[in-house]
Amino acid sequence: MSTSPPHNDLTYFTFGTPNGLKPTIVLEELGLQYKVKTVDITKNTQKEEWFLAINPNGRIPALKDGDLRVFESGAIMLYLTDNYDKDHKLNYPHGSRDYYEVLSWLNWQVAGLGPMQGQANHFWAMTDADSEYGINRYVGETKRLFDVLESRLSKNDWLAGTKYTIADIASYSYVRVAPVLALELDTWPGINRWAKRINERPAVQKTQTIPEGTKSVEEITEMVRSMREKADVTRDGKRDS
């Protein structure tokens, strides 16, 4: 028979992507005990029946707390703060003005920055189609969204209210891999200062090797650079043929 959360029986299903990183940071910042289950998306593990029973969308991350499942990174972050952050370390009291500011920035990242930057990465390096339009469209939109972040962070230390919250964690997880798209954070000094503050946090440092085998930003950037070079060669060959 199901009982109301929290169950204190957390298993986190993840891989070394920005979306996977977001709830990992929350888990570590709150000092929670949890088990990690690596879902290797390079082998399509996320499409296997056992995982689809947890997340029907076949994407990481996902969380189980006892017999309760939560999927999608934003939902997991809210679940963890709703149930395990009674001191409001990473969020504000439900219904407050700052709580809805957190929700606004969190949904902005989930619906905007994440998908646009993800598409930019795809067209930048992961397709051998002649994708100049896709590159310009999505890299340009990523830059525009960085400008939106800068409009807030050039004048404020944090995205919502006066403290570090899940809103900051969500966007940081994507901003940290900006070098993959050859985006220099020095272009956005407010973002750059904010990202450095978050990156220096001990919990954040720890998460960047979870799950085991997760690549560093430098390793990811080099891997994507190599992929882009191979895609460029293929595209050039198609143009010449």
Cα-atom radius of gyration of the chain, to the nearest Å?
19
Bridge partners (DSSP) listed for residue 12: 36, 63
Dump pLDDT digits (tens) for 95-123. Answer: 999 999 999 999 999 999 999 999 998 88
Tokens coding 209:
């090797």
Domain ranges of the chain: 10-84, 97-207
Residue 151 has pLDDT above 50, yes or no: yes
- Backbone phi, psi, residue 211, to 5°: -75, 170
What's the average model confidence in pLDDT over 16-39? 97
The pLDDT > 90 percentage for the chain reads 78
- Fold designation for 97-207: Glutathione S-transferase Yfyf (Class Pi); Chain A, domain 2 (1.20.1050)
Residue 79 has pLDDT above 50, yes or no: yes
Band the pLDDT of 1: cuts 50, 70, 90. very low
What's the average model confidence in pLDDT over 181-198? 97
Strand duo 62-65 + 34-38: pairing: unpaired
Chain centroid offset of residue 118 CA: 10
pLDDT at 206: 96
**Residue 142 neighbours by CB under 8 Å, 6+ apart:** 113, 116, 117, 120, 181, 183
Q: Which residue has the higher pLDDT, 150 or 231?
A: 150
- Fold designation for 10-84: Glutaredoxin (3.40.30)
Query: 186-204: b or e for each residue (b if 16 or more CB lie within 10 Å)?
Result: eebebbbebbeebeebebb
